[in-house]
Structure 1
Amino acid sequence: MNHFTITKPSPSMWRVSFDNPPVNVFSSQTIIELRALVDAAEADPDLTVILFESANPEFFCAHWDLTDDTSSLASEPPPVTGQQAFVDVLIRLSKLPVISISSIRGRARGAGSEFLLATDIRFASRERTLIGQFEMTTGLAPGGGSVSRLPRLVGRARALEILAGADDFDGDLAERYGYVNRSLPDAELDAFVDAFAQRVARTDRGAIAELKGWVNEMTLPEDQEFAPQSDAFFTRLMGPKVSGWIGRSFEQGLQQPGDLENHLGARGFDV
């Protein structure tokens, strides 16, 4: 089953919708599809903007699929950047010579939040957005890039609040902190984001590539920052504390619609 639905309203604009029921978890299959999308975007001379959204209004991307063993990645080509596969594809996404936009409606935590942070621009539904990095509730620090990306967006103190507190941020608070560009009333989100994306789609790809290249030099983390974070994440993931948290969470409804997934930021430490 495909995790993305891709439509192309014009040669210069793609719409990409997450659709992996029931709660849009990110998995090895998602990495494979996202890698193919990034490959195609790099090679398309007409493309200038990619708009990411979700088919599920309650979950943009819940988090990493904690049942995934990553074995399907064994037959894939090696990561381009030399990083682990998830980090690799997010680095490549962040450096695409096109503008990537996330239109956020629903929950995006952990890997879902790290995906958002790798896109260039984030717009959020005021009423329906909850984003955060819940990993510290399980006993491990995030390993997919948020430790490097968040401080550059929101500053050191707020990054530590988001990461160590492991709570959810609604659209307005995320905007205030700089986690997202802006939050809008849910009824206005789609029209605003569509208009912005269509505006960017009118821009010359070469000019976009130059612009992003210059901004990237000033703002993106160096690739070598990510490996120690990923290594520490996977080391702790195999430990008894995290394994116990995962087991108890599945007993309480993890990765299914319901109270735990709806309030994971608030309930994570109590699992």
Structure 2
Amino acid sequence: MDSPTRFSLTEHSAAWWRVTFDNPPVNLVDATMTSELNALFARAEASESLAVVVFDSADPDFYLAHYDLSDSDEVEHALAHPEEVHPWTALLARLSSLPVATVSSIRGRARGAGSEFLLATDIRFASRERAVVGQFEIGMAAIPGGGPASRLPGLVGRGRTFEILFGGLDYDGALAEMYGYVNRALPDDDLDGFVDAFASRVASFDLQTIRDIKHFVNLATQRSEAEYQDQMNAFWAAVNRPAQQHIARHLFEAGLQQRSDVERDLPHWVTRFPYRPGSDEE
């Protein structure tokens, strides 16, 4: 595995790794991050000693902001080849199936693909004061592509899934804990110590037992991979529609994907540029 550019890897021991996202300015998910995570996952799958991987962020304001929406070549390819499983869809399925315990330690904003990533991990711990999670895509006239429509119901229930996906709002650590979006929210000063102690404890246990637990829980909870691909295809189809393109254009002009008020309060900004068919701006 070459040295990654979108995150750092700390091997606390042979049994416990920490992945720290670091992709300025706002920790966007992109094709490079997906490729580098795939290489990391290959190492994890091949390891005979790894028990637990913790994912956190070097940026206290952004865990993973969302997917990079600026790559027009990726959009064109996805639309031309709907039969292909998108790399992000495949990565999230691989993440859920890793034969180790995976833990998200959430400080900062995790929206869109950031939320999708943490939903694909086994366990989610959040800063009560600084974590922000949500799926904003409806405000951009799109369905979330990375599978929250399949993963959220088992965590928060049907009604709250609709609230999250229809509302496109942010959820702070305390509310996310109450809903089941995260396992628990802790005071920000306590988050790192708690996660470290939990990961160290898991790393001390028998590796085969960890793998067996993961295997049988996955049998009871994993959804069909076809569901995830259908959702990603629906997302790319939305990206090709005038409504999404109209909203995206205005958001980029206002500061999307920069360290800006747009990214700090995205659920508010996605409502500022309604699409009106037949207008001069269409």
TM (norm. structure 1) is 0.94
- 2:48 corresponds, among 35, 45, 57, to 45
TM alignment of 1:15-34, pairs within 5 A = 15-34=18-37
CA drift of 1:68 comes to 2.5
CA drift of 1:174 comes to 0.2
Contact 2:251 2:269 in 1 (8 A): no
Query: Within the alignment, does 1:207 sit opposite 2:209 as a pair?
Result: yes
CA drift of 1:164 comes to 0.7
Alignment correspondent of 1:79:
none
Query: Within the alignment, does 1:6 sit opposite 2:12 as a pair?
Result: no
Distance (whole Å) between structure 2 residues aligned to residue 174 and residue 98 of structure 1: 24
Distance (whole Å) between structure 2 residues aligned to residue 107 and residue 182 of structure 1: 16
- 2:61 corresponds, among 58, 61, 68, to 58
SS for the counterpart of 1:231 is helix
Distance (whole Å) between structure 2 residues aligned to residue 211 and residue 147 of structure 1: 25
SS for the counterpart of 1:10 is coil
Distance (whole Å) between structure 2 residues aligned to residue 192 and residue 226 of structure 1: 32
Question: Gaps spanning 5+ residues in structure 1: where?
Answer: 75-81
Alignment correspondent of 1:121:
123
SS for the counterpart of 2:271 is helix
Return the index of the structure with the highest Cα Rg.
2
Distance (whole Å) between structure 2 residues aligned to residue 118 and residue 83 of structure 1: 17
TM alignment of 1:1-271, pairs within 5 A = 2-69=5-72, 83-271=85-273
Of 87-96 and 260-269, the range deviating more from structure 2: 260-269
CA drift of 1:84 comes to 1.4
Question: How many residues are matched?
Answer: 262
Distance (whole Å) between structure 2 residues aligned to residue 146 and residue 83 of structure 1: 17
CA drift of 1:70 comes to 5.9
Distance (whole Å) between structure 1 residues aligned to residue 71 and residue 48 of structure 2: 35
CA drift of 1:107 comes to 0.2
Q: Which amino acid aligns with 1:13?
A: W
CA drift of 1:267 comes to 2.7
Please identify runs of 4+ aligned residues in structure 1 that moved more than 2 A: 68-71
CA drift of 1:268 comes to 1.8
Identity of aligned residues (%): 51
**Cα displacement string for residues 84-121 of structure 1 (whole angstroms, at most 9, x for unaligned residues):** 11010110110111000000000010000000100000
SS for the counterpart of 1:269 is coil
TM (norm. structure 2) is 0.90
Distance (whole Å) between structure 1 residues aligned to residue 138 and residue 57 of structure 2: 26
CA drift of 1:69 comes to 4.1
Q: Which amino acid aligns with 1:133?
A: Q
Distance (whole Å) between structure 1 residues aligned to residue 206 and residue 90 of structure 2: 27
**Cα displacement string for residues 111-134 of structure 1 (whole angstroms, at most 9, x for unaligned residues):** 000001000000000110111000
